[in-house]
């Protein structure tokens, strides 16, 4: 059985969380508790759910947590688009994170397809 730290998708999700923190580190005090906070929570949730699912006993539970991670990735995508719209961060910086997030979403979808309930977990 692999650790979540062995999964490329977890590593990429952690990198995205770090990038989101960098994007939001210079926001106004008012925004710190608004969109910036939402961005951070969604970004952290992706890797956290991958890790929690990997620690579960079976593939069915792992798959459920992967779907939650995918949902968090979709949330983050929407929040990043809003961040661009309201100019929370430079557009090119947001676009770079969106590109990485798209790759993570594809990786999650592939991992979900590969994890079949009733078989041995990764």
Domain membership flag for residue 121: no
- pLDDT confidence of residue 102: 98
Domain membership flag for residue 15: yes
Q: Please give the tally of structural domains in the chain.
A: 1
Domain membership flag for residue 120: no
Q: Which domain holds residue 102?
A: 4-114
Domain membership flag for residue 119: no
Read off the CATH number of the domain in which 66 is found. Answer: 1.20.1440.60
- pLDDT confidence of residue 26: 85
Domain membership flag for residue 51: yes
CB atoms within 10 A of CB 2: 10
- pLDDT confidence of residue 122: 47
- pLDDT confidence of residue 32: 66
**Shortest CA distance to 69 belongs to which of 109, 29, 26, 19?**
109
pTM equals 0.90
Which residue pairs, CB below 8 angstroms and at least 24 apart, start in 39-44? 39/76, 39/79, 39/80, 39/83, 42/72, 42/73, 42/75, 42/76, 42/79, 43/16, 43/17, 43/19, 43/72, 43/76, 44/17
Which residue ranges in the chain fall short of pLDDT 50? 119-122
């Amino acid at each position: 059985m692999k650790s979540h730290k062995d999964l490329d998708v977890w590593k990429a999700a952690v990198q995205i969380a770090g990038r989101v923190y960098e994007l939001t580190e210079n926001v106004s005090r008012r925004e710190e508790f608004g969109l910036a906070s939402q961005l951070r929570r969604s970004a952290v949730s992706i890797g956290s759910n991958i890790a929690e699912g990997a620690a579960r006993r079976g593939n069915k539970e792992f798959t459920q947590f992967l779907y939650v991670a995918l949902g968090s990735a979709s949330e983050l995508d929407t929040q990043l688009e809003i961040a661009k719209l309201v100019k929370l961060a430079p557009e090119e910086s947001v676009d770079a994170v969106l590109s990485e997030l798209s790759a993570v979403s594809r990786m999650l979808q592939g991992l979900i397809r590969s994890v079949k309930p009733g078989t041995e977990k990764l």
